[in-house]
Amino acid sequence: MSDFSLKANERREYITGIIGVWRKRNTLPDSSIDSYASDLAKIYLTSSYISKTGSQGGLDQFRSIIMGRENDIRWKVLGSNVLRRSKLSNEQRSLVAALEIEPDLLSPMKESRYEPIHTKLLAYHLDPAYGSDLSLTLLQATLDLIASKCSESNISIPEWKDISKAKVESEVVTNNARRADICLTLDDEFIILIENKVDAHEGDNQINDYLKYLRRSRDDQGGLLVYLTLPNAKRPSCDGDFVWLTYQDLLRAWLPFAIRDGQAGEYLARYLKSIAFSLLGLCGRGGFDQWTFLEQRLVLDFIEE
């Protein structure tokens, strides 16, 4: 192998450039150091960094500078996330900590993506009568989120008078034989149907059937349909207005309450860890230091937004 000697400042510039290229990638090292270095080399060869620096020697130079100390480079990359976390506000660091809780609620049962369980848990957390000490707060946060989405879509909804008396039901059969996952009744007259989708797709004409039910049966009282899905789900087509929420929207609205002291806060944190880990892929098992670079970065991006 040829001897490619660089001055200390040139070597630092070279390594900094390679790390900069790596951080812009969407795939990050999850396996062995050897595969990490190999992947990094492939990225280097397809990047424009070598032409920008005017370096000569290509892969041999890369090997002489990087491959011999891949552990140092890897820790330098991982350390950037630790530095980012240290610069978060106290509240933001608490939000990250809430997602470090172990075990999460659903993984031990191997039911992390089982839609009916999520429906039951959502209904529980929203129910001021039979839910936890945080349910009224979570219901208000959810209604604020729905109202914000309605405003963005120019959908008119009333202002609620007393949400503490809200009625929350799951698996409610409508008069057109559809089964609504969650039904919220507010002020004894306005209903919100929540259709929850995890891995399933919209049933045949399902959204239109719910909208017809709301129009025909609730003309005097009013009603709204909320479609809750994963962020990458396909938006359904229909003949009327509805609110489209994602689990990421819900996580953002609920996570601040998971840092509350007490059993209700801890239970909520365990459920939200299930959502973040199993449904959204935002974090890994265990604590922040055990997550991959990508998982750390995704959580930090989410918290900083």
Is the predicted pLDDT of residue 26 greater than 50, yes or no?
Answer: no
Residue 98, phi then psi, degrees to nearest 5: -65, -30
Q: What is the pLDDT of residue 31?
A: 43
Q: According to the model, what pLDDT value does residue 2 have?
A: 37
Per-residue confidence band for 189, with pLDDT thresholds at 50, 70 and 90: confident
C-alpha separations of 28 from 32, 132, 233 in Å: 12, 39, 24
**Does pLDDT of 30 surpass 80?**
no
Mean pLDDT, rounded, for 249-257: 97
Confidence band for 202, pLDDT divided at 50, 70 and 90: low
What integer pLDDT is reported at residue 281 of this predicted model?
94
pLDDT at residue 38 in the model: 62
pTM of the predicted model as reported, rounded to 2 decimal places: 0.76
Q: Whole-number mean pLDDT of the chain?
A: 81
**More reliable by pLDDT, 227 or 214:** 227
Q: Where are the domains of the chain?
A: 8-87, 107-279
Question: Is the model's pLDDT at 262 over the cut of 90?
Answer: yes
Percent of the chain with pLDDT over 70: 70
Q: How many CB atoms lie within 10 A of CB 145?
A: 18
3 — pLDDT class (breaks 50, 70, 90): very low
User: From CA 21, how far away is CA 39, in angstroms rounded?
Assistant: 12
pLDDT of residue 102: 95
Output 200 or 47, whichever has higher pLDDT.
200
pLDDT at 62: 59
Average pLDDT over residues 84-105: 94
- Higher pLDDT among residues 267 and 158, named by residue: 267
Q: Is the pLDDT of residue 32 over 50?
A: no
Residue 179 in contact with residue 156, Cβ under 8 Å? Answer: no
